[in-house]
Amino acid sequence: MDNMYKELTNGLKMPRLGLGVWRVEDSQAADAVEWALEAGYRMIDTAKVYKNEKGVGEGIRRSSVPREDIFVTTKLWNDDQGYESALKAFDDSLERLGLDYVDLYLIHWPVAGKYKDSWKALEEIYASGRARAIGVSNFHQHHIEDLMTTATIKPLVDQIEIHPTLTQEPLRKYLDDESIAVEAWSPLGQGTILETPELVKIGEKYGKSAAQVIIRWHLQNDIIVIPKSSHEGRIKENFDVFDFTLTPEEIKQINELNIDERLGSDPDSFDF
Ligand SMILES: NC(=O)c1ccc[n+]([C@@H]2O[C@H](COP(=O)([O-])OP(=O)(O)OC[C@H]3O[C@@H](n4cnc5c(N)ncnc54)[C@H](OP(=O)(O)O)[C@@H]3O)[C@@H](O)[C@H]2O)c1
C-alpha cells in the first residue's frame, strides 16, 4: 500500500479506507458521516437498499470537507435492475443524496438475466459524468466474463465479501489480473471475529485492537476497505491504522484464518 488512495484504471483516485453504512438508520447516518469526515475518512459507502442515502447526503453537506474531496458510492438495488429502471433508480439515488454526481455506482448483486441491461444504463450514466466510476458488487469471475460479452466498459471495481475467514484468494487474483479494484464488504466479519486470539495477540504487539489489525491486513493486501460503525469512538479507531505495519509473517498468519465461510449469501444462490 503506497498511499491513502488507489488509482482506478480510468485515473480516478479512490480512497483505500472508507465508512460503510449498512444498518445505520437514516436518522443516524448524518452524524456517522460527519464524524467520519472529521476523523479523516474521505469515502462513504451507501446503497439504495440501506435506506439512508438522505442522511448520508445531509452529513456530507454538514461537514466542512468539500464535496470534491469526498468519494461517494451508492448501488443499484436488485428490484431496479434493467435498462430503464436502472436509469430511474440512479436519478432517485442522486436526488435522495442531494448530489449532482456520485463517485462510484455499483450493481449491487448479479441478478440473472438483468445485469447486462443494467450495465448498459451504468455505462450511459458514466458517459454523462454523473458517476465518475462504475462497477459491480458480488460478481464472481463467471459473472464478469459474461458481462464482458456485451459490455463496452469493464467494471472498475468489484465489491465482494472478504474478511480473514473468507479471504477469496482465487477471485482476488482474477480481479487483479483484470485490473479491477478489489473492495471488501463486511471487512470485520460483521464484528464476529474481533475476539479471535491470533488477531488480539497481534494487536497487543502494536497497541492496536483486532479491528485495526484486520483493517491493516486488508490495506496491506491492496484491498479497499469500508468498515461500518455507528459509534464515534469506533469510527475514529477504525481510521487510526496508518501508524503501524504488519510483518509478512503476521499477514500470512491472518491469511491462514481463512475457512471460506460466508456471512452473506453466495452470489450464485441469493434469493432477494
Ligand atoms: N455490496 C454488498 O452486498 C454489501 C454487503 C454487506 C455490506 N456492505 C458494505 O460493507 C460495509 C461494512 O460491512 P458490514 O457493515 O456488514 O460489517 P463490518 O464492517 O465487517 O462490521 C461492522 C460491525 O462491527 C462492529 N464494529 C465496527 N468497528 C468496530 C470496532 N472498532 N470495535 C468493535 N466492533 C466494531 C460494528 O458495530 P457498531 O456499529 O455498533 O460499532 C458492526 O456491528 C457495510 O456497512 C456496507 O457499506 C456491502
3-class state of residue 183 by DSSP: strand
Determine the distance separating the centroid of ligand 1 and the alpha carbon of 188, expressed in angstroms.
Answer: 6
Cβ of 186 below 6 Å from ligand 1 = yes
| Beta bridge partners of residue 224, listed in sequence order | 183
Domain ranges of the chain: 5-191+223-231
Evaluate if residue 2 carries a pLDDT over 60: no
Q: Identify the CA nearest to 164 among candidates 120, 218, 116.
A: 218
Q: State the DSSP string of 48-74.
A: GGGT-HHHHHHHHHHSSS-GGG-EEEE
Determine the distance separating the centroid of ligand 1 and the alpha carbon of 201, expressed in angstroms.
Answer: 22
Which residues lie below 8 Å from residue 174, measured CB to CB, with a gap of 6+? 141, 144
Evaluate if residue 227 carries a pLDDT over 60: yes
Mean pLDDT of 29-49: 98
Cβ of 228 below 6 Å from ligand 1 = yes
At 152-205, the pLDDT tens digits run: 999 999 999 999 999 999 999 999 999 999 999 999 999 999 999 999 999 999
Cβ of 185 below 6 Å from ligand 1 = yes
Return d(Cα 233, Cα 224) in angstroms, integer. 21
CATH superfamily of the 5-191+223-231 domain: NADP-dependent oxidoreductase domain (3.20.20.100)
Which residues lie below 8 Å from residue 270, measured CB to CB, with a gap of 6+? 109, 138
Q: Whose CA is nearest to atom 15 of ligand 1?
A: 228
83 catalytically annotated? no
- What is the predicted pLDDT for the residue at 45? 99
**Contact present, 195 and 243 (Cβ < 8 Å):** no
- What is the predicted pLDDT for the residue at 1? 53
Mean pLDDT of 34-38: 98
- What is the predicted pLDDT for the residue at 3? 85
